Structure 1
Amino acid sequence: MTTIILPNNWAPRPDQRPLWIYMENGGTRAVEVAHRRWGKDDIALHYTATAAQQRIGNYWHMLPQFNQCRKAIWEAVNPHTGKRRIDEAFPATIRAKIRESDMFIEFKSGSCWQLVGSDNYNALVGSPPIGIVYSEYALSDPQSWAYLSPILEENGGWAMFISTSRGNNHYKRLYDFAKVAPGWFAELLPATKTPVFTPEQLQKIKLEMIGAHGEDLGEALFNQEYHCSFEGAQPGAYYNKQMILANKEGRITDVPWTSGLEVYTFWDLGVDDSTTIWFMQFTGQQVRVIDYYEGSGYGLEHYAKELKSRPYVYGDHYMPHDAAVRELSSGEFAKSRQEVAEELGIRPVVIVQRARDNQAVMTGIGSVRNILSRCWFDKTKCWQGISALEGYRAEYNEDKKIMSNHPEHTWESHGADAFRTFAVGYSTTLGTKKQGGDFRKGSRGTWRST
């Protein structure tokens, strides 16, 4: 019989030992902010290999997007050994079966491991996981953790969040929470505190990044990637400056609902993709963003119930142009989602013409930038939408090493598109409705209106 010791031909470095020891001693929630090339995925894969032999269950290694999994992990080769990283962490002697198609490994112990994306977590079938590695959580959909955390709480499972910093977003908030939460592990390791790079190498990397991206962006990227700075702008993020300013000015705070003002909603519609809704009130020139909701895979009946469950008096409901498109339904006639929504009590619906080409999209992005200085966000109810606005970014062209002139479609797109519905709708219709500086409670026959 072949004997193998796990971790396989690997041991944590001294700077990796605090995280390793915490997990080995039964830790269940770890947040590791570490510089580029620290070995975040290596330590996570090797720990999962040991955990899968000790407790039988399903283990997930989750990247921001499923289409990243094969190149980033499944086919990734360790440049120091020339071997695939999964073969190093999960040697053939402990594997019973491997499926290349869906990047799945079954171990002889009975445990299973699979690569997944935070963009398709709710589409996976089978037994729920008892261990999850969030790789590059700063770029992942935080709704996935909101969905999965109760599962791990119930089954006593663990989660490890590993990432470099990406601006003052949901990962920064999770790190700040982990620093003070009982039982959580939190660590921030810049390159100056590990043996991976010498000072001379870091200086060379910095100069190369400045040469490739210019002094301001290059230095900001270096500080983000190697000094783990949360202050720098995300490369290509459309609203980074505006959201940083909102935070500095105290406009991301507690924003209570005012019962004397109507609540207006602004939507991005999806079925397989997420449907997102922003809830806003207006007083004078101030936009109060009081609530946010996001769901996936539901019909309009679900969102009607969500709206009814809130104590708000509603004004208009702003939806993108595709709400007016007629679709096949269970009735005799095809109905648009606008008609279905109004039958469910979501009325009146105002259709906002959505951008028909990339230039119009960029014009809408400009409208959002212009109005963000007037917005106040409730930090608790809108945290997910805030993260979407902070992370909404241009697609990066790997071949040309430049930002493309169009947005990247990620989980942030849904919340950002719904906010663009607001900005465009406000500039074309909503901004003309002000009376006496306030939006007043009206009589429209909608829920809880008088």
Structure 2
Amino acid sequence: MSVTLEIRPRRQFREFLESKKRWCCLVVHRRGGKTFSSLQKLLLRALTHKRPGPPTRYAYIAPTQAQAKDIAWGYLKSFTWQIPGVSINESDLKVTFADGMTVRLYSGENYERMRGLYFDGVVIDEPEDIDPMAWPSVIRPCLSDYRGWAIWIGTIKGKKGQWQRYVDAAADGDWFSLLLRASESGIIPEDELEDLRKGISADVFRQEFECDPSVGRTGAIYAKEVGEAEAAGRVREFSPDKGALVHTAWDLGSPENTRVVYFQRVGPWLYIVDHDTGLRLTTAERVAHMMAKGYAFGCHCLPHDAASRRPGGLSFVEELASAGLENVRVIPRTDDPERRINRMWGMFPNIWFNEPRTRDLRVSLENYRRRVDGASAAVMSEIVHDWASHDADAFGYIAEAEMAGIVSENLPRLGAGKRGARVRVSLGRGDL
């Protein structure tokens, strides 16, 4: 028995389906059909691609497992259920074909689950909501064995992330790129677009339906302040001031999710000099990694749970001390994240970021946000706890450490004659 599968793409996506390029980036308005068309292409490539070796393997990756199931699982089953020999596994969200080929749905929030696998191709949906470390540390290496391909699809949330990927792809002959705005695509009828405009804010419409990068991410907490720091020239490469101690602020989690922000206080200025993220290190290895930086360390400021006993019987504070890290301090417990957010907002005009050592931190700060109501698009008070919140919490603990008196706002320079001495800090070209 043979089955003929006929793929009928929307005309707006035909060139995309016909493209043979390894890398693709699609910026498409809401309800434009980007997930549907990307799964069509995934199956077209999967069913026509043959190679020696183990069975081919493909993945669709969404920010969460619930999103992957809600958005893509129904499409995938409807596309494949009539193919002879196909097995559909509801619990694993996996389709297995008669020759052993598999297509599986994955969660970006648990991207470590993909570590060590191989893929012949992946679709990454809404990459703005997935930890940016997922691509370089896990997903991209999974494509190396068989020169697999990747399709990035999503709306945009500002001028970075998916929008910058599209801009770069449009200028790179090795990439296929597609931009579809609702006012130009013809997919949503004009009368429906007009009704949408009446029901949501102008900014939300411009971002979600017109793919306008000038609109910042809805609910963003620090994005405006990071943008202002960049515009003011406070994001640049510099060396730590040798006359001031380097302190650290931490957010604790699994080894990969433990984040460390390195900072200095010099007069009124707060210098963010370094940042650790995505490190799979034991406690001893982490301390050795920190010491190898050669900084003159001051206080290491950890959240209250660092004092809790761990499975081995020691607290994390004790483990760090055993590994040779001195002056570890625990910040008193607080249940008010708004307090540190407000404090950091007030400090931002005096914050400098060392480029490029704080690049991942700044991406997280730009994506740290409050939840947005899906129906009304209203910004809620609840903070979204995802990949970006780990870095943002570590950053915010700087404020908590200062408010607790662990780190002084005007720490004397090492060797300075007295507090309040004139500060002159070299930052490459030009001085402060």
**TM-score category, normalised to shorter length:** 0.7 to 0.9
8 Å CA contact 1:304–1:346 kept in 2: the answer is: yes
Q: Deviations over 1:200-247 (max 9, x none)?
A: 4323211111xxxxxxxx111111001111221222222232223223
Deviation at 1:423, TM superposition (A): 2.0
The residue number in structure 1 matching 2:34 is 40
The residue number in structure 1 matching 2:87 is 97
Partners of 1:99 and 1:438 in 2: how far apart? 69
Q: 1:186 to 1:308 in 2, by over 3 A?
A: farther
Q: 1:143 to 1:354 in 2, by over 3 A?
A: farther
**What TM-score, normalized by structure 2, do the two folds share?**
0.86
Q: 1:414 to 1:132 in 2, by over 3 A?
A: same
The residue number in structure 2 matching 1:376 is 352
Q: 1:194 aligns with which of 185, 189, 195?
A: 185
Partners of 2:63 and 2:404 in 1: how far apart? 35
Partners of 1:320 and 1:48 in 2: how far apart? 44
8 Å CA contact 1:58–1:128 kept in 2: the answer is: yes
The residue number in structure 2 matching 1:21 is 18
Q: 1:134 aligns with which of 124, 127, 140?
A: 124
Partners of 2:167 and 2:272 in 1: how far apart? 24
Q: 1:320 to 1:305 in 2, by over 3 A?
A: same
Question: Identity, % of aligned pairs?
Answer: 25
Partners of 2:114 and 2:160 in 1: how far apart? 27
In structure 1, what residue type is equivalent to 2:38?
Answer: A
Moved more, 226-235 or 239-248: 239-248
* 2:322 is the counterpart of 1:343: yes
8 Å CA contact 1:237–1:390 kept in 2: the answer is: yes
Q: 1:19 to 1:355 in 2, by over 3 A?
A: farther
In structure 2, what residue type is equivalent to 1:172?
Answer: W
Partners of 1:195 and 1:268 in 2: how far apart? 47
Partners of 1:419 and 1:282 in 2: how far apart? 14
Partners of 2:211 and 2:95 in 1: how far apart? 33
Partners of 2:410 and 2:130 in 1: how far apart? 38
Partners of 1:106 and 1:50 in 2: how far apart? 15
The residue number in structure 1 matching 2:209 is 226
The alignment of Structure 1 onto Structure 2 pairs a total of residues equal to 410
Q: 1:382 to 1:251 in 2, by over 3 A?
A: same
Deviation at 1:272, TM superposition (A): 7.2
In structure 1, what residue type is equivalent to 2:227?
Answer: I
> Structure 2, unaligned stretches of length 5 or more?
413-418, 424-432
* 2:408 is the counterpart of 1:408: no
* 2:271 is the counterpart of 1:288: yes
Q: 1:59 to 1:229 in 2, by over 3 A?
A: same
Q: Deviations over 1:391-434 (max 9, x none)?
A: 11223445776443221221111111111111221333223452
8 Å CA contact 2:340–2:400 kept in 1: the answer is: yes
Counterpart secondary structure, 1:387: helix
Cα RMSD over matched residues?
2.6
The residue number in structure 2 matching 1:11 is 9
The residue number in structure 2 matching 1:207 is 198
> Structure 1, unaligned stretches of length 5 or more?
75-83, 210-217, 441-450
Counterpart secondary structure, 1:270: coil
The residue number in structure 1 matching 2:411 is 434
8 Å CA contact 2:263–2:270 kept in 1: the answer is: yes
The residue number in structure 2 matching 1:238 is 221
Q: Deviations over 1:24-50 (max 9, x none)?
A: x2x122221111111110111011112
The residue number in structure 2 matching 1:443 is none
Deviation at 1:263, TM superposition (A): 2.4
* 2:345 is the counterpart of 1:362: no
The residue number in structure 2 matching 1:324 is 307
Partners of 2:354 and 2:66 in 1: how far apart? 33
Q: Deviations over 1:121-175 (max 9, x none)?
A: 1124773222111101121111100112233245311111101001234333433
8 Å CA contact 2:255–2:282 kept in 1: the answer is: no
Q: How does 1:384-403 map to 2 (within 5 A)?
A: 384-398=360-374, 402-403=378-379
Partners of 2:228 and 2:147 in 1: how far apart? 40
* 2:52 is the counterpart of 1:61: no
